[in-house]
Structures are given as structure tokens and as C-alpha cells.
């Protein structure tokens, strides 16, 4: 029977099923497969027991290569910086946890962020390795993230998002749109752009939809209420930019601006403000609101 490798410091292992090849050891395969990770780094991970097989047994530098072997390893980033903002747990029960995420903190490991993630922090805080985010928001976006705490009920809550039975409301600060009649429903086709992590609108059948309204009018910015009907990557940012009102401090739309590592000034003025749904287990209406506020 396969053993699930344990989480370490709130981080679940990554997995690789060894592909066909002429390597003599697992180490040789890993070095070729992940060229960006130097051989000494793999040796160090193995020495600390951070590379194991599907039985939880340590992989060593001499472990022979076997096609199909399941190898589990724990990602590491040298000198990972601490993100100096704290999340807040707004609610926790036997099925759900609701967190208020600060700007700049990723939800799950990505790129140079491995331990400094909302998921990792919450697993370390609660001691619950079964925590799983039920949806995602961008690292640049602040606000509510809903987690499943119980594998037995997880599918029921995942269904809320898959079947669009949960209402997500965002707030954004962006330039005024005096010539646009609000509220409006923005529908468009969003596809991958250049570079690959940016999105763009294009001709064709719509695959994205957002309700846009104004909450308060100021000078020169307005506060908007954004309700995504669909969940395309960067959908709210792309739709606001397409209307001529890119969200304040957006470093991707309309133009890509590279931020220096450790620069936490000028956070994106986008907040996941409210989540509302009928609980699939109890039938009761539940609603959660972020306690964070945008700067403008």
C-alpha cells in the first residue's frame, strides 16, 4: 500500500513518475529533468530526507533508476524572503476555513514562493495538512480565500465553484468612466497573451463575463463593485483595462511593469470583498466579508 509522504513545514511534496530514459540513478534523472536545480542541491535534499519514493523510503544518490518509479520531493528556494504582511482567519469549522489574504502573498507555491504562501502559513498555523484552497486569487489581489478543511466534504464545496453557485464580489479602485453607463455586463473572449502569463481579449465567442457597477465616485478614481460570472485568469483586470479604466497600481495591464524583489509599495487596488453561497451540507445561506480596505 502506498504511503502519502507527509507535509514538511506546511508544504506538500511535488511528485514525478520517472519517464523512460537511459539514466543509471534517480539522481541523474532528476538532474537532467530539472536542469535549473544544481546537482549539489539534489544531494543536499537527499541527505536531509527530502526526496522519497511512494513508500516513503529515502532516495539516495545511489538509488537505481527504474522507469515508472514515483519520486516525491520537497521544493526549496534559496534565501526565500519573508513577505511582511499577515493573513487573518475570519472563520474556521470542521469543513471550511475562510482567510483574509494580504496583498503580495501567493495562495499556493509558485516560482520563488514556496513556504511564504497562504496555504503553507495556514497549514503551519492550524496543523491541518488536509487544507486545500477551493479557489484562487492572484498574488497581487487581497481578500477572501475559502479553504476546505475536510476531504470528506470537499467535493460538495468544490461543486459551488464548478457549478457557479457561489457569488464572489470584488472591489476595485480605477479611473472614472463618466461616458460608460453603469451597471453593465462585460462579456468578451479572453485568451493567453504575450508574455504567457498575461491575458488579452480577442475576437470570437465570449468565454468571460463580469458585472461592473460603481460604488463611489471620486476624483480622479472611482470605487467599483465587480462580480465575476465566469472565472478566467486575470478576468477582472482585463475587463477593466478594456473599458479604459485599468485598476490602480496594476503592473500588468495595460503595460507590463517589472517590480523589484521586496518592493511592497503601490499594491494592486483589487480586493476580494465578499463570498456568499448556500451551504451544500446545511442548506443555510452563508456570507463572509473581508475586513481589509483599499487605500484610495
- The burial class, CB within 10 Å (0-12 / 13-18 / 19+), for 242 is middle
Cell readout for 201 is 481579449
27 touches 69 (CB < 8 A): no
Instruction: Give Cα 147 to chain centroid, integer Å.
Output: 12
Q: Which residues contact 141 (CB under 8 A, 6 or more apart)?
A: 101, 103, 170, 268, 270, 271, 272
Please name the residue ranges forming H helices in the chain.
26-33, 39-47, 118-126, 154-162, 235-242
Is 179 an annotated catalytic residue?
no
What are the Cα distances from residue 277, in Å, to 70, 94, 145? 39, 17, 14
Q: How far is residue 102's CA from residue 87's CA, in Å, rounded to a whole number?
A: 6
**Collapsed DSSP state (helix, strand, coil) of residue 33:** helix
Which of the residues 100, 138, 140, 241 is marked catalytic?
138
How does 194-203 read in b/e, with b if 16+ C-beta sit within 10 Å?
eeeeebbbee
Q: Where are the beta strands (DSSP E) in 10-129?
A: 14-17, 51-53, 70-73, 88-92, 96-101
Q: How far is residue 95's CA from residue 154's CA, in Å, rounded to a whole number?
A: 8
| Residues known to be catalytic | 138
Amino acid at each position: 500500500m502506498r504511503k502519502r509522504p507527509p507535509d514538511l513545514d506546511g508544504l506538500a511534496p511535488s511528485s514525478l513518475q520517472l519517464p523512460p530514459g537511459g539514466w543509471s540513478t534517480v539522481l541523474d534523472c532528476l538532474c537532467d529533468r530539472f536542469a535549473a536545480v544544481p546537482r549539489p542541491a539534489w544531494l543536499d535534499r537527499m541527505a536531509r530526507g527530502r526526496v522519497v519514493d511512494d513508500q516513503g523510503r529515502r532516495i539516495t544518490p545511489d538509488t537505481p533508476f527504474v522507469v515508472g518509479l514515483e519520486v516525491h520531493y520537497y521544493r526549496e528556494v534559496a534565501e526565500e524572503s519573508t513577505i511582511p504582511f499577515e493573513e487573518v482567519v475570519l472563520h474556521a469549522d470542521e469543513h471550511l476555513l475562510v482567510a483574509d489574504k494580504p496583498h503580495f502573498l501567493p495562495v499556493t507555491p509558485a516560482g520563488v514562493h514556496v513556504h511564504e504562501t497562504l496555504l503553507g502559513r495556514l497549514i503551519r498555523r492550524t496543523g491541518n495538512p488536509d487544507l486545500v484552497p477551493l479557489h484562487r486569487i492572484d498574488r497581487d489581489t487581497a481578500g477572501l480565500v475559502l479553504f476546505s478543511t475536510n476531504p470528506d466534504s470537499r467535493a460538495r464545496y468544490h461543486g459551488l465553484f464548478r457549478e457557479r453557485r457561489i457569488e464572489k464580489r470584488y472591489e476595485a479602485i480605477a479611473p472614472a468612466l463618466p461616458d460608460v453607463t453603469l451597471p453593465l455586463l462585460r462579456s468578451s473572449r479572453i485568451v493567453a497573451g504575450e508574455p504567457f502569463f498575461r491575458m488579452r481579449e480577442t475576437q470570437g465567442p465570449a468565454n468571460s463575463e463580469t458585472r461592473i457597477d460603481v460604488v463611489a465616485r471620486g476624483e480622479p478614481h472611482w470605487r467599483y463593485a465587480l462580480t465575476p460570472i465566469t472565472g478566467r485568469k486575470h478576468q477582472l483586470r482585463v475587463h477593466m483595462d478594456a473599458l479604459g479604466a485599468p485598476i490602480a497600481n496594476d503592473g500588468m495591464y495595460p503595460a507590463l511593469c517589472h517590480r523589484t524583489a521586496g518592493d511592497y509599495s503601490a499594491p494592486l487596488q483589487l480586493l476580494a470583498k465578499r463570498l456568499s453561497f448556500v451551504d451544500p451540507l446545511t442548506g443555510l445561506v452563508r456570507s463572509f466579508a473581508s475586513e481589509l480596505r483599499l487605500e484610495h
